[in-house]
Structure 1
Amino acid sequence: RIHISSEQNLQYGWLAYMLGDRATKKFTEYSKIFTVEGNLSSGKGKLAQKIAEKLGMKYFPEADIHYLDRITGDGTLLHEKFNGFCNLERFYNDPKCPDGHSYRLQAWLFGNRVLQYADALEHLLTTGQGVVMERSPYSDFVFLDAMFKQGYIHKRCLDHYKEIKEISICEFLPPHLVIYIDVPVPEVQKRIQEKGKPYEKKVSPLYLQNIEDAYKKTFLPEISETSELLQYTATEAEDVEKVIEDIEYLKFDKGPWLEQDDVSFHHLRLYVQDKDGVLDPAAIPRFIPEITIGGNEYDKIYYEYRSV
């Protein structure tokens, strides 16, 4: 192989660590992971992007079913048969589809959120630049909880999800800060009707209420034990300067990040850069009809994907 550049990108490993590559040397005041949470159409993306701009952090838009397509290859979005056999339009049109589409969708989205969170951690540990994200694998369960309460999925799907969630994110470190935008369901509905896509306008108000309940009754109390938490109304969230001021007053004095050193950061960086390894826990051998396909069908899809 003939090298035509004076630079070569090498994967991080033990040699780089032995030669002095240390994460903490790159860290600054906002070398942190922030996530912005909230119901549908709550303004998460707008706030997350502005916070990232103000604090010199990197903005990660919410991971969708095509996240892997967007960050690999030439960015071409592949057919849904290569992306979990699911799409949002079908979910909103028929959330109780008997072929298990709703759980396929959420399981696929969870895998993409795990992958994106690994990318965020890798970016932080590699560059020292903090990341602001829309949602994370830590909060993803609010949708599954809402689906189950609405009768969109079976109990076996809920049990399977809880198992893969527990073993998928146990090696990660939680966000330093979670920002929750509290928008009442009637206002969420109004925004969706005004600016949402045609199929999104079919969303059930009870489904939206269940998402809000899962956030307030389960996610926020749990995440506040390890992460800083800021909550705003829709109006308050529009005052970005006030949000930045609140962030500046935070002490960030709790959670497992305080217990880390360069050795643990080294092992975490090795883990998150191995994306196949990161996603392995999401493929535990359980027979769940909604997401299980036969060997012949798998081979057919695999070789068709290889030929794309």
Structure 2
Amino acid sequence: MQHKRGIVGKALREPGYSRPAPFPYKEKEYTFWRALLDDTTQRFDENSKIIVVDGPPTGNKDKFAKELADELDMFYIPGANMDSIYVNEYGFDRRTINHKLPQIFHSVDIEDFLRNPNRRATTRLQFHLMKIRFTQYQDAINHLLNTGMLLTRKIICQ
């Protein structure tokens, strides 16, 4: 007998289905002793997967990913953007002073990259985006192991 698992949407779920309570990983530490008593695989079901939505920089990937996450009852993580790097804790956006700086010191975002991909500063953009994606992927794995649900964007995409 061969068993295959798939992904189940809200419409096809059994009536009254509910997920086990997630481990409060943001408040408590998952230590060795907790691992002995609390098995994370008990929270897994058909939808315990990381789904990656990838494609060219244009398009409605975020909208599609949100709708898919809602239909599959998963947690949505938005794609990486440079706002976390360029906007400080006071709300000031460093990109607003680009016109006062030399070209090499400009804050480059995706729109600038698409307009001129051969600028020297685009390597800095790619490095920061990869760093943000890696951090998001770590958070995604953490969330998946503690709750059993997730939908995200890809870590390795340009």
1:54–1:93: structure 2 CA closer, same or farther, 3 Å change rule?
A: closer
Measure, in 1, the Cα distance between the counterparts of 2:90 and 2:52.
Answer: 25
Identity %: 30
Query: 5 Å matches for 1:159-238?
Result: none
TM-score (norm 1): 0.35
Measure, in 1, the Cα distance between the counterparts of 2:116 and 2:65.
Answer: 31
Measure, in 1, the Cα distance between the counterparts of 2:51 and 2:79.
Answer: 13
Say whether 1:36 aligns with 2:71. no
Paired amino acid for 1:13: T
CA deviations 1:51-93 (Å, max 9, x no partner) are 11111101111111234799xx97957646xxxx543344344
The partner residue of 1:131 within 138, 150, 153 is 150
CA deviations 1:19-57 (Å, max 9, x no partner) are x12110111210110011111323211221111111110
Measure, in 2, the Cα distance between the counterparts of 1:91 and 1:68.
Answer: 16
- Answer yes or no: is the 8 Å Cα contact 1:63–1:109 preserved in 2: yes
Match of 2:38 in 1: 21
Measure, in 1, the Cα distance between the counterparts of 2:43 and 2:93.
Answer: 37
Paired amino acid for 2:50: I
Match of 1:108 in 2: 128
Match of 2:30 in 1: 12
1:34–1:87: structure 2 CA closer, same or farther, 3 Å change rule?
A: same
Q: Please tell me the root mean square deviation across aligned C-alpha atoms, in Å.
A: 3.0
The partner residue of 1:52 within 69, 72, 89 is 69
1:113–1:79: structure 2 CA closer, same or farther, 3 Å change rule?
A: same
Measure, in 1, the Cα distance between the counterparts of 2:35 and 2:53.
Answer: 33
CA deviations 1:161-197 (Å, max 9, x no partner) are xxxxxxxxxxxxxxxxxxxxxxxxxxxxxxxxxxxxx
1:26–1:62: structure 2 CA closer, same or farther, 3 Å change rule?
A: same
Match of 1:119 in 2: 139
- Answer yes or no: is the 8 Å Cα contact 2:86–2:94 preserved in 1: no
- Answer yes or no: is the 8 Å Cα contact 2:76–2:151 preserved in 1: yes
The partner residue of 1:96 within 109, 115, 118 is 118
- Answer yes or no: is the 8 Å Cα contact 1:66–1:77 preserved in 2: no
Match of 1:231 in 2: none
Displacement of 1:123 in angstroms is: 0.4
Query: Helix, strand or coil for the counterpart of 1:59?
Result: coil
1:35–1:24: structure 2 CA closer, same or farther, 3 Å change rule?
A: same
Say whether 1:64 aligns with 2:86. no
Match of 2:98 in 1: none
Measure, in 2, the Cα distance between the counterparts of 1:60 and 1:46.
Answer: 12
Identify the structure with bigger relative contact order (alpha carbons < 8 Å, sequence gap 6+): 2
Query: Helix, strand or coil for the counterpart of 2:140?
Result: helix
Higher strand fraction (1 or 2): 1
